[in-house]
A and B are shown apart, each in its own frame.
Chain A
Amino acid sequence: MPGRVVVITSGKGGVGKTTTTANLGAGLALEGYRVCLIDADIGLRNLDVVMGLENRIVYDLVDVVEGRARLRQALIHDKRVENLYLLPAAQTREKDAVNPEQMKELTAALAEEFDFVLVDSPAGIEHGFRNAVAGADEALVVTTPEVAAVRDADRIIGMLEARDLRNPRLIINRIRTDMVRRGDMMDIDDIIEILAIELLGVIPDDEAVIVATNRGEPVVLQSRGRCAEAYRNLVDRFLGKDVPIVALDGHSKLLERLRSWMALGRRPVSG
């Protein structure tokens, strides 16, 4: 059975797609799954930097598509985690060096070898987005708790649905409980009420993420820390385990209520 091709997307840039891809991928690989990360942000690659694999790149995605390298040659094996591979983007090429048909072929070939193929999407809704979603079986939408980011997430969800990526799931990144409590930040239920999709996880805003990123080491690999925990939680929920969304002191009740509300929206046909 081929693996699942999952696109990580957002609409607005800088909300944490690349960080999410790196951590979800590393987390899945730690669980023993075979995982390949694809950096589809051609021209602005940075998944390799976040993974600390920049100095190992010989070939990239465009080299594979244009036949200069075989897929296996271009895949970079992660230096820490068994079963984790990266297909880097080309730094120097234009976005239109690849088309959706080629991306479909590429992801299909990878899905033969891997349990999960995670595609890190570029920002925006144009060519790069079409490439990133081309071969995807499912989509994860990342947003921060900001009005503009949520608006763009909504836009993207509409576009995913139009492409038959029906039930995209949501990751809310960089939440700050202190600001939410003061009413200075959008609440989780405000966001869910607008986007009306399933919430897969909530990641706190934490400088540990930035420090880890600068070291080229996904934070999920750390043994302790609330972000590492939040990402492990995300991995579990992604794998279908019924774990509560990371307890954000006092917010779990609210989340329970939200989840039951979501479930209600997908009530089976009664007849």
Chain B
Amino acid sequence: MTEPRIRVLCIDDEARILRALKALFRDMDVRTTVDPAEAIRWASEFDVDVIVCDQRMPKMQGIEVLREIRMAHPRAMRILLTGYADLSAVLGSVNEGEVFRYINKPWDNNDLRQTVQLAAKIARDTPVVLDKGIDDFSRDQARREVGILVIEDDPETQQRMREILQPHYQVRFASNPDRALQVLEQHETGVVISETAGQHGDFTALIKALKQYHPHIATVVVTDRANAQTAIDLINEGQVFRLLLKPVRMGSCRLSVDAAVGRYWQLKQNPQASRRFLVAPRPDALIPSWLAGSLMQRIRLLPSRLLGMARAH
């Protein structure tokens, strides 16, 4: 039997975009609508595999539509297709929409088609990790056992994070990539919290590499150097779990870290599901030289210790 055709749902307030997508995905089963409410109903009614949604629409923002669909029909993979990247939309698409890819208009036809095909395959083959998270008992256990690594070289922020996190989690700090890897090599680490950059360079390259080889680790980026493009890259190439702006607030920081610990815990029980957080490969040329050599090697060699496999299985 052949695989049933990929089911895609496209949402945009511009009918001509919808016609273009329908033609582009002509070998798939495509439904299109300008009406967000209809889209939310259709997602589960037609059991779609992939959602392609515009961000700026008059009735409802794309990330809201995606958030609703994520709750109603979590199996589908979500792609945001947008003409203009403003930072708040990008943050929302991470923190609320948990999108698989953030793609700018005008798009590249082949890229978009391949992304949708990949997303559909993942949606069909890969179990869902539900948002409900974990029960109280496991949460307490997770908090005790799962290590949290904070990569940050600003002493003030380090101090602040210590105050917020130390009482509840196993927190370790690193102010440079080498030290970060030492921690990862020695301790089961489920959540990595990091700035986008420090004096020692671009931390995002490190987080992306880590996620590429160890997709079950949940990364939370906390930054005061926010810009839309960095954030988009962190989604597509780093599948960042949460993106927070400084100054760090106690409440949102703890909520995010708790959710991240829960996510890691679930993926640890269900390693297959981490394919849902597959990152787009980065061209080698973009990997900075300080990372490309031995650090990269050490990242690749991390897995068994990291997952705490011996205990889990």
A and B: bona fide binding partners: no
